[in-house]
Structure 1
């Protein structure tokens, strides 16, 4: 039987991908004391790496939001791998979003809303979370956005 969260994802047309393997010396997630910590996820889609470049230069806010949403989809793929069932997520506790920003770009919160809005759409009120949105000069593989997450789990 498909769980509630998997059903919501299907209803909005989201099929979670196979989680990406780590690109360096770290693990993709850690479960500890009722919490699930997901390492930073980048915008890897069906065709591979997407959204390479800086927001405010190569991409506008809408593209940045799409990149952040893709990161959030990859976060859920890692969460499903860690938990087996996304219905075990009791709450999205915190997101940290990093936005590769062109000089003078200051709308990082609008970009990271792509991930935040997605989690609220999928989890409802349990998807509301604390958050940081940080502008940086570069990210791994040159991507526009990277997002990490912390979940409370049952």
Structure 2
């Protein structure tokens, strides 16, 4: 199976129903995408598939063959992703950092769809869980990235 990840083509020999998360982490060594719950609830495994936030722990790899997949490893190559990362750093969003790659991907997806999100838009899109409770900093960073 061929996957387009971060602008490069990758041939992978995996079962079609293998979750994309395990292909990224175990087969390709892209460990920036994290395993959290395995149930698509926490969002630690979020990447962009054709620009949209996708929870990879429940996404069969066969369903994304032919799609453009972007992981945290390449998010700064995207102009919006770069703004999000800059806002994250400036606002010192991460504490433990475990969920942050998924948070950055979700924020980038939101801003790709809606360049000027309202507070309600941000709350609706940023559903990833953060055990450290950095939600206020996350919201502030999303607003800052939108204004940049």
- The answer to whether TM tops 0.5 is no
**Structure with the largest fraction of strand:** 1
Larger RCO, structure (CA 8 Å, separation 6 or more):
1
TM-score by length of 2: 0.29
TM-score by length of 1: 0.28
**Structure with the largest fraction of helix:** 2
